[in-house]
Chains A and B, each alone.
Chain A
Amino acid sequence: MSKVKARIMNREAIERALVRIAHEILERNKGTNDLALVGIRTGGVELARRLAENIKKIEGVDVPMGALDVTMYRDDLTRRKKHLPLGKTDINFPVDETKIVLVDDVLFTGRTIRAALGGLMDLGRPQHIQLAVLIDRGHKELPITADYVGKNVPTSRKEAVKVVLAEGGGEDEVLILAEEDGE
């Protein structure tokens, strides 16, 4: 079992970060025209939902939202020792010509995002793809950067970052754990 080393964000901190990111998205994309949010399963889906909620509160618009399962796009199928259950990709709006904001909870090596880019572009040709993450923990292995970051947290490789989001509110928090669980 992993030991909790530190709690780096509490519920209020997370809420504030997500409000800020929603504003940044709207500022950068000059509004909600052609905009859509895609949460990466499983950590990014609830975040995408909250961002969509925030955007609705700010601009009064329902931005389309989808979920992307990247398990089929990963490059480590035969190598990995742990079994990753397959989830469903659920994107009900056209990807072509859409300004897509990919949402994930933690940016680490960048491989998940790379897989997500592959998956997304198999579905169509977006106008552009931006990336929003709650935590950027460093240790990039690919040239992938987030456009919107909730908090930059330097970590060691042996640590793990856990984002807990209770779906109806409740005890949201971001924790740093002592054991590296593997990506």
Chain B
Amino acid sequence: MPLKNKDLLSIEDLDREAIEHIITTAESFKEVSTRDIKKVPALRGKTIINLFYEPSTRTRTSFELAGKRLSADVLNMSVSTSSVVKGETLLDTAKNIEAMNSDIIILRHPMSGAPAILASALKSSVINAGDGAHEHPTQALLDLLTIKEHLGATDGLKVAIVGDISHSRVARSNILCLKKMGAEVRVCGPATLIPKGIEDMGAEVYYRSDDALKGVDVIMMLRIQMERQGKGLFPGVREYARLFGLNHERVKLAKEGVLIMHPGPINRGVEISPEVADGPYSVILEQVTNGVAVRMAVLFLLSEGRA
């Protein structure tokens, strides 16, 4: 089996071979979404639960479509804060779901490490759809698929990730994934948003975006997360946009044919200017398309051999 564990919790757990396999599988599933009948019976009769403790339309819809296109029964559970207030623990909620014979549980949770709790306690496969600031593995995989489709090989590729690195699970998963695939990763932001020890994960730290973007093949912009961070990490949106926002001039510093990526949703005019977001180098919408394909591949591969 290419995916050794029953769960997909982190890029940390995948080796290069497994990552490449998921990408190849995703390429096949991409074709299904272009047909008139966007469905294959591969996961017919399987029960997939989206258990989201954090609001998210994009990721949840993407997983839902992925499951449905594989003919699975997909249920969405948005856990409102009232369930938490009522005192039901994460583990109890998940055990209740498993008692209804779920096959796969997809968890998004505001606290790092939450999916690991479920994975060790449940028989169902658990997919991490984002836990706190820890990881968002399917995002990194769909980003990788997008890069591969445009630029081919990843070894030696220069990728810059710009934004609130310290609170970003997308940044962490991407750093791990790109490093495993042989790329060079730069992180850039004000020092207050760069976490201690990020160099030990393999990323080069830049505080000035004009330096970080020089000659890169891929630019990944992160959303400035107003709701997640505490106050005082940077003086305000205006200063941030001026120093780190991706505009036309900054794009010119990168290589010809650079890919502009963003996990969404975009704050137009803050971390990225509208003309760059909608411009010829932007592959932001392709990322969304690839998201469904990658998630189909992950659901498919996790189900293989597991009755």
Contact = CB atoms under 8 A, between A and B. Distances in A.
A124 B35 CA distance: 9
B41 interface: yes
A73 B40 contact: yes
A83 interface: yes
Given A77-B42, A78-B306, A122-B37, 14 more contacts: A72-B70, A72-B300, A74-B42, A77-B303, A78-B304, A78-B307, A81-B305, A83-B2, A83-B305, A85-B24, A86-B29, A86-B300, A122-B40, A123-B35
Given A78-B305, A123-B35, A69 B28 contact: yes
Q: Give the interface size bracket for B toward A.
A: 20 to 34
Given A77-B303, A78-B307, A119 B40 contact: yes
Contact of A72 (B1, B28, B305, B306): B28
Contacts, number: 59
Nearest to A70: B40
| Secondary structure type dominating chain A contacts | loop
| Secondary structure type dominating chain B contacts | loop
Interface in A44-85: 69, 71-75, 77-81, 83, 85
Given A86-B25, A86-B28, A122 B305 contact: no
B32 to A, nearest CB: 7
Contacts of A71: 42
Nearest to A121: B37
Contacts of B307: 78-79
A124 B37 CA distance: 8
Q: Give the interface size bracket for A toward B.
A: 20 to 34
Interface of A: 69, 71-75, 77-81, 83, 85-89, 118-119, 122-124
Nearest to A88: B28
Interface string B274-307: 0000000000000000000000000010011111
A74 B70 CA distance: 12
Nearest to B46: A78
A27 B24 CA distance: 40
Given A78-B303, A83-B2, A88-B28, A72 B35 contact: no
Contact of B35 (A77, A81, A86, A122): A122
B272 to A, nearest CB: 34
A75 B303 CA distance: 12
